[in-house]
Each structure stands twice: as structure tokens, then as C-alpha cells.
């Protein structure tokens, strides 16, 4: 094992780094499957449990996001204090069990409770994984490591949509949830076998402040305040995109769950893989050359996505609509390495997981709770007013907040320039 002596920190190289990143990738993939699977199963769940769009928005949004967001901060702080591997293992076991229990739901309340359990388990997955990356991966390739971990989101989305759509049409939504939970247990075994203990992480890289004090200090930095705001805007764009994208295509264009799962899911996966890997590489290159425009690339991507998503909601041809959703799929993935990487730079050593937790709180609390509910309410109200496609109007939330996310990214680049003029770049 080589070391990066200048930072007095043990960095992993060779097969050890590969093993760590492989395990984290599988964690990311199956975490996303557990999160995304009910979206492709939504129509079947709605019919079986006799739910409205508003109730679907409550379950997919409020029930999940509140628990997910609030639990992420204390779990992130524990991860920064050297508990990352244990936090990660416990979270994988919890979300796997609760995903399977979701298959036993008998109504709104029991399904919501299962989603709360999944949310609690998944809340620590990303911060703990980011803590392991910050503790074990050398800084000059850290953006690519974050991008590789983030690649699990589109891969999980692709698998969740494709397999979930097929399962919905064949074995039913309950069996789909049972199987997803069972496969999550395999990921727990990978965490045990492939992620070594991190006790050699040196104490000086940790902060002994509690997460309230540390959070307040981080949110006092103007650059991070704008990142937190951008995370909120992103949540208002992405949550309804994932929650109602599949139902929109089914209702508007008459596609089956299998057809949406294969087409929408496959493109989501491909764009996500390209977006996260390209985003990680571009971010690393920008950091290594000390660029003062770190978040300009995702800003441009979101500006384009806002236009194409708006068009996608109104074109009459199904394949054109799906194709116009592609820039949005790309931009959500492309932003991840930039957002988390920049957040880690501003936070500094020993607070990277906390930075991730705060950004997750920003995107996952109010936005993820309210935006699917808002879309569902608009859809139900428009349908009650005899509009032909109420969900079409509700989905207008997505392009509006995509544009606002792009504007926020442009502002963040300027704030980061000021921040790094005041402190050492990357400090």
C-alpha cells in the first residue's frame, strides 16, 4: 500500500482502492434500486391499494424525504468520526429489510412506514461512502471516485426501471419489493468483505465538534449557503422527474410499465453513467488547474435541460418525448461530482461527510417532500377540472426548477472564486 506522505494520510492504491470503490458502487446501485423501484411500480401500487396521486406524492415524497434528510446529518457526523464502515453496513441491512417489508403493505399507512424504514437506512449510505472516499482516496482523483460512486444512481435507476417494470407486469409489485430487499443482503456481505477497517485514519483529520456546531460553521460560508440553496432547487426539479416521469409516459402515450422501464430506464442509466463519469473527470481537471468556474459546466447543462424538458411534456410522439427528457437525465447525474466535490473542498478535512449530509438535507427534505405532493395536487386538481392530462400540468414544476438550478450553479462558481481567494484552494 502506497501512502500520500505530504498529508500524513493513508491513501489506497491498486487492488485495495478497486475493492473499496467496487463495494461502494454496489452500495450506491442497490440503494437507488430500493429508492426508485416504487416509482415504476406506482401505477400497480395505486390500483392495488386504491391510492390517489396526492397520496402517492405523500408516500414517495414526504414519508421518504423527511426521515432521509433529517437522519443524514447525525449519521454523517458519526461517519466523519471514524464510524463510516459500521454506519454503512447497518444502513444496508436496514434498507434491505424495509424494502422487503414494503411488499406486505396493506394500505397508505403501512406502505408509508416501510418507506420511512428504507429512508432511515439510506440516509447514512451516501455520507458514509463519501467519508470513506475522503479518508482513503487521494485528492487528485477524488472527483472521479465520487463520480464512480454516483454512477450507482443511474445504474440503479436503469435496473430499477427495467427490472421493476418487467416485474410489475409479470410477478407483481409485492414480489418485486421482496426480491430487491433480498439482493440488498448480498451488498451487505460485499461491504464486510471488500471494505477494510479504517482505524488507521488519523485523528487529526476528524473534528470533535458536534454536528450542530459544525453545520452552523459550514453554513456561515457564503459559497456553501449557495450550494445549499442550489440543492433545494435541484430537489424540486429531480424529485417529481423521478416520481412521476414513468406515470406521465404511461398515461400520456399509452406505454406499458415494461416499455417505460426499458426505454426510460435504459436512457436514464446510460445518461447517468456518462454524466457522473464525465462530471467527475471534468471536476478533477478543473480542480487540478485551479479553475475559477467549477460549477459553470452543470449550469449550462441545466439551462439546456429546462428547455428540452418543457418540450418533452407537450410533444405528441412518445419516442420524441422520451428523447427530450435525456438532457435532464444527464444534467442530474453530471452535477453530482461537481456539487459534492465542491462541497468537500469548502468543508475541508474531517467534515466531508457532513457537507454531503447537508447537501442531501437541502435536496431531500422540503423539496423531495413537497414537490411530488405539489405535482400530485396539481394533477388531481386539473383532472377534477376536466383537463385531459392533469399530470402534464403538474410536471411543469420540473423545467421551472431546472432553470433555477442552472442559475444557482452560475452564482456558486462566482462565490467559490471569492472563497478560494480568501483561503488556500482546496483547503
Cell triple for 241:
422527474
What is the percentage of the chain residues whose pLDDT exceeds 70? 92
What residue segments make up the domains of the chain, in order of their start? 5-422
Question: In terms of pLDDT, which residue wins out, 403 or 46?
Answer: 403
Report helix angle 397-422 to 296-312, nearest 10: 180
* Range of weakest confidence among 125-129, 359-363, 421-425: 421-425
Question: In terms of pLDDT, which residue wins out, 21 or 268?
Answer: 21
Q: What integer best gives the mean pLDDT of the chain? A: 85
Cell triple for 165:
417494470
**How far apart are the C-alpha atoms of 300 and 2, rounded to whole Å?**
39
What is the DSSP secondary-structure string of 285-354? HHHHTT-S-TTHHHHHHHHHHHHHHHHHTT-S-HHHHHHHHHHHHHHHHHHHHHHHHHHHHHH-TT-HHH
- Is-above-0.85 flag for pTM? no
CATH 3.90.1150.10 fits 5-422, yes or no: no
Residues contacting residue 121 through CB under 8 Å, at least 6 positions apart: 34, 90, 91, 92, 93, 94, 95, 96, 97, 98
Question: In terms of pLDDT, which residue wins out, 61 or 10?
Answer: 10
The C-alpha angle 182, 188, 192, rounded to 5 degrees, equals: 155
Report residue 9's pLDDT band, with 50, 70 and 90 as the boundaries: low
**Confidence (pLDDT) at 312:** 96
Average pLDDT value for residue range 368-375 = 81
**pLDDT at residue 301 greater than cutoff 90:** yes
Question: In terms of pLDDT, which residue wins out, 157 or 21?
Answer: 21
Mean pLDDT highest for which of 4-18, 139-153, 186-200? 139-153
**pLDDT at residue 2 greater than cutoff 60:** no
Cα-to-chain-centroid distance, residue 398: 16
**pLDDT at residue 202 greater than cutoff 60:** no
**pLDDT at residue 61 greater than cutoff 80:** no
**Spatial contact of 294 and 419, defined as CB atoms under 8 Å apart:** no
**pLDDT at residue 211 greater than cutoff 70:** no
**Confidence (pLDDT) at 92:** 93
Amino acid at each position: 500500500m502506497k501512502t500520500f506522505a505530504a498529508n500524513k494520510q493513508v491513501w489506497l492504491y491498486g487492488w485495495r482502492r478497486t475493492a473499496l470503490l467496487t463495494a461502494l458502487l454496489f452500495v450506491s446501485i442497490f440503494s437507488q434500486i430500493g429508492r426508485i423501484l416504487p416509482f415504476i411500480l406506482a401505477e400497480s401500487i395505486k390500483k392495488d391499494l386504491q391510492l390517489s396521486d396526492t397520496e402517492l406524492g405523500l408516500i414517495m415524497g414526504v414519508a421518504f424525504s423527511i426521515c432521509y434528510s433529517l437522519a443524514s446529518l447525525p449519521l454523517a457526523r458519526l461517519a466523519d468520526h471514524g464510524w463510516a464502515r459500521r454506519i454503512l453496513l447497518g444502513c444496508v441491512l436496514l434498507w434491505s429489510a424495509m424494502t422487503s417489508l414494503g411488499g406486505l403493505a396493506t394500505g397508505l399507512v403501512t406502505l408509508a412506514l416501510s418507506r420511512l424504514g428504507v429512508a432511515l437506512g439510506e440516509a447514512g449510505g451516501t455520507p458514509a461512502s463519501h467519508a470513506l472516499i475522503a479518508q482513503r482516496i487521494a485528492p487528485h482523483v477524488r472527483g472521479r471516485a465520487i463520480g464512480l460512486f454516483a454512477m450507482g444512481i443511474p445504474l440503479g435507476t436503469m435496473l430499477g426501471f427495467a427490472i421493476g417494470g418487467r416485474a410489475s407486469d409479470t410477478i407483481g409489485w409485492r414480489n418485486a419489493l421482496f426480491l430487491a430487499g433480498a439482493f440488498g443482503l448480498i451488498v451487505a456481505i460485499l461491504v464486510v468483505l471488500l471494505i477494510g477497517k479504517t482505524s488507521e485514519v488519523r485523528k487529526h483529520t476528524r473534528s470533535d465538534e458536534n454536528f450542530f456546531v459544525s453545520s452552523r460553521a459550514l453554513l456561515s460560508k457564503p459559497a456553501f449557503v449557495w450550494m445549499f440553496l442550489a440543492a433545494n432547487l435541484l430537489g424540486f426539479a429531480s424529485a417529481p422527474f423521478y416520481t412521476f416521469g414513468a406515470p406521465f409516459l404511461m398515461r400520456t402515450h399509452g406505454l406499458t410499465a415494461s416499455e417505460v422501464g426499458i426505454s426510460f430506464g435504459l436512457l436514464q442509466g446510460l445518461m447517468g453513467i456518462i454524466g457522473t463519469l464525465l462530471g467527475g473527470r471534468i471536476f478533477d481537471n478543473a480542480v487540478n488547474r485551479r479553475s475559477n468556474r467549477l460549477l459553470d459546466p452543470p449550469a449550462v447543462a441545466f439551462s439546456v435541460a429546462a428547455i428540452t424538458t418543457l418540450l418533452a411534456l407537450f410533444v405528441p410522439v412518445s419516442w420524441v418525448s422520451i428523447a427530450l427528457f435525456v438532457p435532464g437525465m444527464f444534467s442530474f447525474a453530471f452535477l453530482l461530482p461537481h456539487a459534492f466535490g465542491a462541497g468537500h473542498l469548502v468543508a475541508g478535512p474531517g467534515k466531508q461527510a457532513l457537507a454531503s449530509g447537508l447537501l442531501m438535507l437541502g435536496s431531500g427534505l422540503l423539496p423531495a417532500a413537497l414537490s411530488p405532493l405539489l405535482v400530485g395536487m396539481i394533477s388531481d386538481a386539473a383532472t377534477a377540472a376536466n383537463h385531459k392530462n392533469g399530470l402534464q400540468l403538474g410536471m411543469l414544476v420540473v423545467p421551472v426548477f431546472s432553470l433555477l438550478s442552472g442559475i444557482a450553479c452560475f452564482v456558486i462558481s462566482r462565490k467559490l472564486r471569492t472563497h478560494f481567494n480568501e483561503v488556500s484552494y482546496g483547503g
